[in-house]
C-alpha cells in the first residue's frame, strides 16, 4: 500500500451493539470457540472497571479469545460493571469469567492465560506484575498507562527485567467517554503533555495492537493531535482498521502541523520546493489544456451528431409531406354526389326549394311584375 499523506479522524469508533448482529456473532463464535486457544486476563489499576468496561466488548468483538477473565479485588463489583444487556446479547458472557484477590491471586490467574491487558495500570506496581506474568507463562502483555504529564515509569528497567514476555507500554492522557473521531498521533512515551483521549479510540487501538508484531517491545504515547488531515485518504482507499493502527505504529501518520513549525527549510530547500511547485503548476496546466482539448473534440462531435440527426428528421418530414400530397383529391373534382358547380344531383341547386302546388296559379298583386320574381330568384 502506497504511503499516504492523510488524516486521523474518526478511526476507531464503531462497536457493534445491535441485537441481531450480536446474536449472529455469538452463533459464529460458538462454532469456532473450540479452535480458540487464546485466554486473556484484564485488570484495571483503579480497581474499578467503570472507566474501562468498553474494552471487554472490543476484545470480544474484534479479538480471538476463547476466555476473558476480569480480575479485580471484588468479583461482585466487577459484575456490577460488566454484566450488561449488550454483553448478554452479543455473547460476551459466554466467554467472560471473574476472579478476585490481591497479588498472589493475580499470579494464579496468570497461570491459565497467555495474554494480559492492564488498563489504567499502576506505575508503582506494574513492573512486579510483569515479572509475575512472565513467570506464570504469559506470552503477551499490553500495559496502558493514563498520564497527562510524563509518566514516572522506567521503561528501560521494564525492558531489562523481561526476557521472554512480549510487552507493549502505551501511555495516553485521561480517557474521555465522548469526543471520538478526532486527530491522534503516536509519539515518544515521555512527551511533556498528553491531552484527554476518547476511550473508544484507545480501546480499538489496543485491540488491534495486541496482535501486531510492530507493537511488541515498544513504549510510546497515543495522544490527540491538532492535525486531522490523515486517514480519510486511507479510508477512501479501503484500508481496514488494522491497517490504520499499523500505519500509526510504523510512523506513516504524523502531525504535519508540528513538523512544519519544527523544521524551517534552508535556502536550498526553499529553492527546490519553489522549483517543484512550479513543475507541479506546469504539469497541472498541461493537464488542463489536455482536458480542454478533449472537451472541444467532444463538443464538435456532438454538434456534428446533432446536425446529422436534424437532417434525418427534416428528410423524414419531407417524405411525409410528399405522401400526403399524393393522396389528396385533384383541384376541381367534387365529392361523390356533387357536380363540378357544387350542385346536387337531379339538377337541384343548393338554393332551390321545391314549389308547392298552386304557387304558379296565385294572382300577382298590384305592382308585381316579372322583374320582382326574377329578383326573388
Q: How confident is the model at residue 28 (pLDDT cuts 50, 70, 90)?
A: very low
Q: Where are the alpha helices (DSSP H) in the chain?
A: 19-32, 54-62, 75-82, 85-90, 103-110, 126-135, 155-161, 199-209, 232-236, 241-249, 256-262, 267-327, 370-376
| pLDDT tens, residue by residue, 165-212 | 999 999 999 999 887 767 788 999 999 989 999 999 999 999 999 999
Q: What is the mean pLDDT of the chain?
A: 79
Q: How far apart are CA 108 and CA 70, in angstroms?
A: 13
Compare 95 and 36 and report the one with higher pLDDT: 95
User: 19-262 adopts what CATH topology?
Assistant: Rossmann fold (3.40.50)
pLDDT of residue 360 exceeding 70, the answer is: no
Among the listed residues 163, 255, 247, the one whose alpha carbon sits nearest the alpha carbon of residue 209: 247
pLDDT of residue 251 exceeding 70, the answer is: yes
Are 43 and 116 in contact, with CB atoms under 8 Å apart?
yes
pLDDT of res. 5? 38
| pLDDT tens, residue by residue, 80-134 | 999 999 999 999 999 999 999 999 999 999 998 999 999 999 999 999 999 999 9
pLDDT of residue 348 exceeding 70, the answer is: no
Q: How confident is the model at residue 213 (pLDDT cuts 50, 70, 90)?
A: very high
**One-character DSSP codes across 137-189:** T--EEEEEEE-SBPP---HHHHHHH-SS-EEEEEEES-EESS-TTS-EEEE-T
Residue with cell string 480458540: 36
In the chain the first and final C-alpha atoms are separated, in Å, by 108
**Beta strands 218-224 and 115-119, pairing class:** unpaired
Are 151 and 192 in contact, with CB atoms under 8 Å apart?
no
pLDDT of residue 365 exceeding 60, the answer is: no
Residues 6+ apart with CB under 8 A from 73: 47, 100, 101, 102
Put simply, whether the predicted model's pTM sits higher than 0.75 gets the answer: no
Any idea how long the chain is? 377
pLDDT of res. 8? 42
SS3 219: strand
Boundaries of every domain in the chain: 19-262
The three grid cell numbers given for residue 48, joined into one nine-digit string: 474499578
Compare 260 and 167 and report the one with higher pLDDT: 167
Residues above pLDDT 70, as percent of the chain: 73
Q: How confident is the model at residue 277 (pLDDT cuts 50, 70, 90)?
A: confident
pLDDT of residue 15 exceeding 50, the answer is: no
Compare 111 and 350 and report the one with higher pLDDT: 111
pLDDT of res. 347? 47
The three grid cell numbers given for residue 28, joined into one nine-digit string: 459464529
Residue 24, Cβ neighbours under 10 Å: how many? 14
Q: How confident is the model at residue 32 (pLDDT cuts 50, 70, 90)?
A: very low
Reported as half-sphere exposure (CB side, CA atoms, 13 A), residue 270 has a value of 5
Amino acid at each position: 500500500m502506497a504511503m499516504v499523506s492523510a488524516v486521523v479522524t474518526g478511526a476507531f469508533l464503531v462497536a457493534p451493539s445491535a441485537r441481531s448482529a450480536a446474536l449472529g456473532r455469538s452463533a459464529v463464535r460458538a462454532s469456532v470457540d473450540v479452535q480458540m486457544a487464546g485466554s486473556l486476563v484484564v485488570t484495571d489499576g483503579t480497581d474499578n472497571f467503570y472507566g474501562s468496561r468498553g474494552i471487554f466488548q472490543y476484545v470480544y468483538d474484534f479479538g480471538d479469545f476463547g476466555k476473558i477473565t476480569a480480575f479485580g479485588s471484588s468479583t461482585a463489583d466487577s459484575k456490577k460493571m460488566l454484566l450488561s444487556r449488550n454483553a448478554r446479547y452479543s455473547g460476551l458472557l459466554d466467554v467472560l469469567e471473574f476472579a478476585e484477590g490481591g497479588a498472589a491471586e493475580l499470579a494464579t490467574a496468570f497461570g491459565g492465560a497467555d495474554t494480559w491487558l492492564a488498563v489504567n495500570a499502576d506505575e508503582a506496581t506494574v513492573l512486579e506484575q510483569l515479572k509475575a506474568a512472565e513467570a506464570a507463562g504469559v506470552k503477551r502483555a499490553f500495559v496502558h498507562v493514563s498520564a497527562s504529564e510524563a509518566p514516572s515509569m522506567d521503561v528501560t528497567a521494564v525492558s531489562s527485567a523481561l526476557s521472554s514476555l512480549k510487552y507493549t507500554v502505551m501511555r495516553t492522557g485521561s480517557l474521555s467517554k465522548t469526543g471520538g473521531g478526532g486527530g491522534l498521533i503516536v509519539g515518544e512515551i515521555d512527551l511533556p503533555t498528553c491531552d484527554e483521549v476518547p476511550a473508544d479510540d484507545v480501546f480499538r487501538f489496543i485491540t488491534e495492537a495486541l496482535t501486531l508484531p510492530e507493537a511488541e517491545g515498544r513504549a510510546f504515547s497515543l495522544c490527540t493531535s491538532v492535525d486531522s488531515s490523515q486517514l480519510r485518504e486511507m479510508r477512501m482507499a479501503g484500508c481496514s482498521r488494522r491497517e490504520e493502527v499499523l500505519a500509526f505504529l510504523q510512523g506513516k501518520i504524523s502531525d504535519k502541523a508540528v513538523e512544519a513549525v519544527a523544521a524551517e527549510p534552508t535556502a536550498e530547500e526553499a529553492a527546490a520546493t519553489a522549483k517543484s511547485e512550479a513543475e507541479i503548476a506546469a504539469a497541472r496546466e498541461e493537464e488542463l489544456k489536455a482536458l480542454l482539448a478533449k472537451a472541444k473534440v467532444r463538443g464538435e462531435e456532438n454538434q456534428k451528431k446533432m446536425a446529422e440527426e436534424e437532417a434525418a428528421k427534416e428528410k423524414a418530414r419531407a417524405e411525409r409531406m410528399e405522401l400526403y400530397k399524393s393522396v389528396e383529391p385533384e383541384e376541381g373534382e367534387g365529392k361523390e354526389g356533387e357536380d363540378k358547380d357544387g350542385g346536387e344531383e337531379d339538377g337541384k341547386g343548393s338554393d332551390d326549394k321545391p314549389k308547392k302546388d298552386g304557387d304558379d296559379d296565385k294572382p300577382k298583386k298590384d305592382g308585381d311584375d316579372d322583374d320582382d320574381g326574377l329578383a326573388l330568384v
